[in-house]
A and B are shown apart, each in its own frame.
Chain A
Amino acid sequence: MKTEVLIKVRDLVVKYGDNLILDNVSFDVFNGELLFILGGSGSGKTTLVRHLMGLDRPFSGNIVIDGIDLTSCSDADFRKTLRKIGILFQGSALFGSMSLAENIALPIQEFSRLSPDAVHDLVRMKLCRVGLGGVENYRPHELSGGMKKRAGLARALALNPKIIFLDEPTAGLDPVLASEIDELILNINKNNGATMIVVTHELQSIFGIAERIIMLDKSIRGIIAEGDPRFLKEHSDNPYVRRFLNRQIESAPLNAHEQIENRV
């Protein structure tokens, strides 16, 4: 069990205008763990993760990453914290005007003093690591969806960050590719010791590799379940959580009633 707290979120409130998205959300992320954040559409997953990444500022509350509070720290500390974070965006967000190698070399050139030749070799290693050897000179639009995800992952890993966010890493991939990506995520988590926060809907990934999940829900604008997915699937006291994890539709009126009761 990992116990060292790396990210601490306390009483996070997020509002867009008058629209309250997250209300008093608090949780911890432990160093080196593989955490999955899930929830139905519109439950605020993306919002929550964007705040953790430092892309948005909250209405109130604290987000402390590795001892630095993103909501109140200086600009220099903020930038330093951002360097500890690697992100795989949902659409990979590779720069279309650069080749794959240039995409991955960009942060390495900026933040290390390696010679161009060494950077080149390192980029090859990084691509090799994600199973993309030999495609350095391709442009992102020449790649298939799975290759883009891998390349995006290689770029997120460029500086071996402490924390890696993955937004829907397996969405839209075939089952074989998806399980390969899962395998890769697990492998990186194990060997780099990186803390990984994955946003996904894919139950297969969740039961396959997740150590712990945090489940958000619209009804309470916050966390309705937290823990081991295999345990929650069978024993969660919230029927919605059980249904979500067992992939059942909302059926009998009894359930609806039960759900309302649980929300109160």
Chain B
Amino acid sequence: MKSSVPSSSRYHLSQNEAGEMVIQLLGRMDVDTAAELLDNLTTLIKEKSPEALTVDLGAVTHFDDFGALVLFELKHLMSAAKGSFNLIHLSNHPQEILSQVNFESQAKCALPLKAKRSVNILVRLGDSAISHTFNFRLMTAFIGSVFLAFARILWKPKLLRFNDTITHMENTGVNAIPIVALISFLLGLIIAFMSSLQLQQFGANIYVASLVALAMVSELGPIMTAIIVAGRTGSAFAAEIGTMKISEEVDALFSMGFDPTLFLVVPRMIAAMVVVPILTLFFDIFAIFGGLVVGVSILKLSAGAYITQTVDALSLVEITWGFVKSIIFAVLVSWIACLRGFQTRGGAAAVGNAATSAVVSSLFLIILFDSIIAVIRGYWG
């Protein structure tokens, strides 16, 4: 005798005394119905825990692999509960679909599964150690190839891609002038204003000029310019070379007999080395002008006095140090950006990582070398 149990419009359910459950599925089994059907049937089976389950597909009008999924999950549920599972009234079409997804034995389809990224801390430590060693080797090799390329250029200046260099100069330098001017002008303004608040108390208004000039020319000018260049140009270098790398353009250059370092890196580095000191000079001038605006408008200094004080405060030594620093920063930023570009492998996400990493590494190197130079200068006297 069969006892009747609740049914819905999607299936019809009956259960006999032996604990065998028969589910007759109705209508369409596709993307729209699968989730609901699966939810209902799973709760039902967990509730009743039948010893055997028979699924009747006789009244199914549409069957695709979402339907196969429902059957697969039910079968899985039954085998976990050590129950049996049967399909009846299986017509040709569902049978074909089931055989295509290897319903009977999933093992047939599965090649050895490639492991997900391991979460074991030791494995990850080892993994990152290996990749860092590899990166270090690549970095060393890259330094070598950059030196080699520069040596070749010195030997044979014709090898330099002159037009590329000019283009990069324009992109790195000329196009950066508006943002450099804006930032430096405002920074000069702010520093002059903030220092005037203190210096005014001692009646030392005129020293605002010295403070702005010294701070800008020897420290802030080179650093801020290098940071702007890292953000604007470094990321662009890394993204461009990275994209070329993953689209095999770098390989194409290599196979045509070009040295990728000579072709891609040297023009960029030379452009940066030429242009960044000039940008720094612009930065200094605009910053001093910003200070001048505060000096004249708030501190009531005369423009002439402010400029005289500025010139007096600066010595050739200060200017030279600032100049040397800006060249060093230019080399660091353009070098690390190109390196990050060449290290790119994979897809679109890797290019994004290369650009991020170029900027972060640049910032780190800028601050590191600024500190080193400060120490050297301290001993210099």
Q: How far is the CA of A191 from the CA of B72 in the complex (A)?
A: 19
Q: Which residues of B contact A228 (CB under 8 A)?
A: none
Q: Which of chain B's residues has its CB closest to A157's CB?
A: B65
Is B114 interfacial (CB 8 A cutoff)? yes
Is A178 interfacial (CB 8 A cutoff)? no
Q: Which residues of A contact B111 (CB under 8 A)?
A: 133-135
A138-B34 contact in complex given A124-B106, A125-B69, A128-B102, C-beta closer than 8 Å: no
A139-B109 contact in complex given A112-B34, A114-B35, A126-B65, C-beta closer than 8 Å: no
Q: Is the interface of B mostly helix, strand, loop or mixed?
A: helix
Is B116 interfacial (CB 8 A cutoff)? yes
Q: Are A97 and B347 neighbours in the complex by a CB distance under 8 Å?
A: yes
Q: Which of chain B's residues has its CB closest to A188's CB?
A: B100
Q: How far is the CA of A97 from the CA of B112 in the complex (A)?
A: 23
B19 to chain A, nearest CB (A): 26
B337-352 interface (Cβ within 8 A of A): 345-350
Q: How far is the CA of A118 from the CA of B65 in the complex (A)?
A: 12
B91 to chain A, nearest CB (A): 13
How many residues of chain A are within 8 Å of chain B by beta carbon?
Answer: 30
A106 to chain B, nearest CB (A): 14
Q: Which residues of A contact B97 (CB under 8 A)?
A: 191
A159-B102 contact in complex given A113-B36, A125-B72, A135-B114, C-beta closer than 8 Å: no
Is B263 interfacial (CB 8 A cutoff)? no
Is A179 interfacial (CB 8 A cutoff)? no
- B98-115 vs A: 1/0 string, CB under 8 Å? 001110001001111111
A137-B109 contact in complex given A112-B34, A122-B66, C-beta closer than 8 Å: no
Q: Are A122 and B35 neighbours in the complex by a CB distance under 8 Å?
A: no
Is A39 interfacial (CB 8 A cutoff)? no
Q: Are A121 and B109 neighbours in the complex by a CB distance under 8 Å?
A: no
Is A96 interfacial (CB 8 A cutoff)? yes
Q: Which of chain A's residues has its CB closest to B68's CB?
A: A125
Q: Are A134 and B113 neighbours in the complex by a CB distance under 8 Å?
A: yes
Q: Are A160 and B101 neighbours in the complex by a CB distance under 8 Å?
A: no
How many Cβ-Cβ contacts under 8 Å join chain A to chain B?
94
Q: Which residues of A contact B349 (CB under 8 A)?
A: 96-97
Q: Are A160 and B30 neighbours in the complex by a CB distance under 8 Å?
A: yes
A191-B66 contact in complex given A129-B101, A137-B114, A160-B31, C-beta closer than 8 Å: no
Is A140 interfacial (CB 8 A cutoff)? yes
A137-B69 contact in complex given A96-B347, A97-B347, A114-B35, C-beta closer than 8 Å: no
Q: Which residues of A contact B110 (CB under 8 A)?
A: 124, 128, 133-134
Q: Which of chain A's residues has its CB closest to B100's CB?
A: A129
Is B161 interfacial (CB 8 A cutoff)? no
Q: Are B114 and A138 neighbours in the complex by a CB distance under 8 Å?
A: yes
Is A136 interfacial (CB 8 A cutoff)? yes
Among B69, B76, B97, B102, the most chain A Cβ lie within 10 Å of the Cβ of B69
Q: How far is the CA of A160 from the CA of B345 in the complex (A)?
A: 33
Contact of B350 among A96, A115, A125, A136 (CB under 8 A): A96
Q: Which residues of B contact A159 (CB under 8 A)?
A: 31
Is B93 interfacial (CB 8 A cutoff)? yes
Q: Which residues of A contact B36 (CB under 8 A)?
A: 113
Is A16 interfacial (CB 8 A cutoff)? no
A95-148 interface (Cβ within 8 A of B): 95-97, 111-115, 118, 121-122, 124-126, 128-129, 133-141
Contact of B112 among A115, A134, A141, A187 (CB under 8 A): A134
Q: How far is the CA of A112 from the CA of B66 in the complex (A)?
A: 10
Q: Are B348 and A96 neighbours in the complex by a CB distance under 8 Å?
A: yes
Can you name 18 A-B pairs with beta carbons within 8 Å? A96-B349, A97-B349, A112-B35, A113-B35, A113-B36, A114-B69, A121-B72, A122-B69, A125-B65, A125-B69, A128-B109, A129-B100, A133-B102, A137-B113, A137-B115, A141-B347, A160-B31, A160-B66
Extra 14 A-B pairs, beta carbons < 8 Å, given A113-B35, A138-B114, A141-B246: A112-B34, A114-B35, A118-B35, A118-B73, A121-B69, A121-B73, A122-B69, A124-B106, A125-B68, A126-B101, A128-B106, A141-B347, A160-B66, A187-B100
